Amino acid sequence: MQRLQGLLIGKDGRLTTVVVTLNSAGLALRAKLVPRICEVVAEVCGTQVAELKLAGPVIDGLTVDESSHRSLTKFALPSTIVIFVICLLSLKSVTAALVVFLTACFCQGLILAVIYYSGERLSALLIILPPLVQVLAVSGGIHLMNYYLNALRTMEPRQAAMECFRRGWLPSMLSLGTTAMGTASLLVSGLLPIRLFGIYGTVGVLCTAAAVLTAIPCSMMLLGRKRSSTVAETAGIPQHGQTSGAWSALTALLCNYNVVSLLILFGLMALAAVGLPDLKTSVRIETLYEPNSRIMQDYEWLEDRIAALVPIEVLLHFSPDCTLSDRQRMDVLWKVDRALRQQPNVKAVMSALTLFPDPPRMPGLPRSIQASLVNKGIRMARPQFEQAAVLRTTAEGDIWRLTARVSALAPLDYGDVLKQMEQALQEPLEQVPVQSRHQISLSTSGIMPLVHQIQGQLLSDLFNSLMSALAVITLTMTLVQAGILSGILAMASNVFPIVIAFGLMGLLAVPMDIGSVMTASIALGIAVDDTLHFLTFFRRELQQPGATRRSAVLATYLDCGPAMIQTSVSCGIGLLVFAFSDFVPTSRFAVLMAFLLALALAGDLLLLPALLLSPAGRLYETEPPKHA
């Protein structure tokens, strides 16, 4: 029993644990199976289910599912109400707000139906998709509705609805199309949950584009009423005279202090970019839950009283032609076991040695007979070793399993732990006779190597998906803006929020989790939305007789500025409701997306106009350059 202390038996010799292994069918039914197991254990032990302490990968996965579904159930309705209220306050029309809101709800229901009928279930990542689709639908809907409200000042409802579609279909298609490119870039991920999010996210964005461009103009043709001049002044887009003072002041500031403005904005980007090389990823358990959550308390209790909970599986493989006897193989196993125990982060080791009794002392027998007896004892114990899953005999040879236990909660760098362990395990192999050394190999597996690999994959996925999205969206912007330089210039404001947000995460040593990885590509696609609306109207205004870049920027501010602010505020605050979730990835996704939306708004209202008013803005002039 002493050998099992720190593995299955507590430090006091009285507490113990039960290790339950589920097959693939059991894993699929873990939501029903785990509560039933708890009920049986509580009944047998005469205790309450609430008093049981649970940990392990199955519990981690089940808790993730329960936490994410609880977050959606708890915060979806408040988020929806917040978005509707902000739409109502922005558009100042119950009919207009209801049309935008119901269109967004339809898009939410549509993507849920697509997921359901395709046979997929709502995972911890896919559960974020319905609110995200709602945000995109509201964003596109507010832009279109503002075009309608503007046109309604001078037109009948039917003509205003047609004008709204005529003015808004191109920027809406381009913006939602580039957002779809952002979600589609997640398909390059090596992790299946992120790829699935990319697939369904792209489908959701394309469905949203179709719904927004059809439902809103058609609804307003049927429901719209001619506004009186008094009502028109209180429409969602104010009369230019009401806001021209603020926009004129901002235009003058960016024009008169153009160089200073650009230096400040690009300086902030450069400062934040310093933190990008220090960006880290983590999928450790403490990055998923709050410290006071049930699962974290159970982990702390078990690690304090029973054992470290993260296993590292070390596999010692002897080839079929290995000439070492069973006793010699056990000797190699003992040396590997000792090397593992000497590692500072290893708390305990489980292997065949844990189960095999110490051979009795036989001082009167020759060494050859002692070795023969030990070999016989090992051969007799092999069935028990295989039953205990510490030995497997295959056609490729014998595989002896050692399980080293390390803490799940200690601030360890799993990559460093694995590297130190692999280096330490080289010494036992070097002590094997030269003629047998090539017949033995060591490998590691288990939760820790998997976590370390996933953390590296997350960072790789972030880079690959972001680069893919940047390449495709930059190419699209180049074609839309009819020039390589003008396309690259337009991308500056879209890169601005990503560099600032992720650079700050690196500087502040905030690790990225699996939810954070997706925000970069999604935010890039959303940021392009306002950029395309702004540039589309800027070009149209610039083609007016006698227009200058300064007058075009001011007119674009008046046309697009309020809508850009309304969409960012409604979507950002709507998502921020999820920041109160006790499931950390959902909370962090909401906070980071809201922060990225705010930065994207700053990029489109400050950096983009400053670039258009600079000498670089001449790239957008189709006629002989006019002074800004």
Domain boundaries, the chain: 2-52, 60-288+481-620
Q: Smallest Cα–Cα separation from 501: which of 600, 417, 572, 434? A: 600
pLDDT in tens, 553-600: 999 998 888 888 888 888 788 888 888 887 787 788 888 888 988 998
CA-wise closest residue to 612 among 461, 466, 493, 512: 493
* C-alpha–C-alpha distance, residues 527 and 410, integer Å: 39
Residue type, 590: A
* HSE-CB for 184 with a 13 A CA cutoff: 16
317, 322, 328, 333 alpha-carbon torsion, rounded to 10°: -10
Burial class (CB in 10 A: 0-12, 13-18, 19+), 431: exposed
pLDDT, one tens digit per residue, over 402-440 is 999 888 888 777 778 888 888 888 888 888 888 888 889
Asked if 197 and 518 touch (Cβ cutoff 8 Å), the reply is: yes
- Residue of 514, 522, 504 whose CA lies nearest to 465: 522
> What is the structure's pLDDT at 481?
64
The winner for highest mean pLDDT among 172-186, 378-392, 407-421 is: 378-392
- Model pLDDT, residue 628: 46
pLDDT at 263: 95
pLDDT mean across residues, the chain: 83
Q: What is the pTM of this model?
A: 0.76
Q: How many CA atoms lie within 13 A of 193 on its CB side?
A: 18
DSSP secondary structure letter of residue 281: B
* Buried-exposed string 512-534: b where 16+ CB fall within 10 A, e elsewhere: bbbbbbbbbbbbbbbbbbbbbbb
Contacts of 561 (CB under 8 A, 6+ apart): 243, 247, 605
Question: Given a cut of 70, is residue 213 above it in pLDDT?
Answer: yes
Distances (CA, A) of 277 to 271, 447, 459, 532: 12, 27, 11, 30
Rounded CA separation 520/186 (Å): 10
Coil vs helix vs strand at 224: coil
Give the model's pLDDT for residue 398. Answer: 92
Helix (H, G, I), strand (E, B) or coil at 7: coil
Give the residue among 324, 301, 561 at the shortest CA–CA distance from 432. 324
Please give the pLDDT value at position 521: 67
**Residue 26 corresponds to which amino acid?**
G
Alpha carbons 57 and 50: distance in angstroms, whole number: 19
CA 298/CA 192 separation, integer angstroms: 29
Percent of the chain with pLDDT over 70: 91
User: How many angstroms separate the CA atoms of 452 and 312, rounded?
Assistant: 12
- For residue 606 the two structure tokens come to 């400050």
Nearest alpha-carbon partner for 160 in 89, 223, 99, 98: 223
pLDDT tens figures, 251-267: 999 999 999 999 999 99
Distance CA 522, CA 232 (A): 35
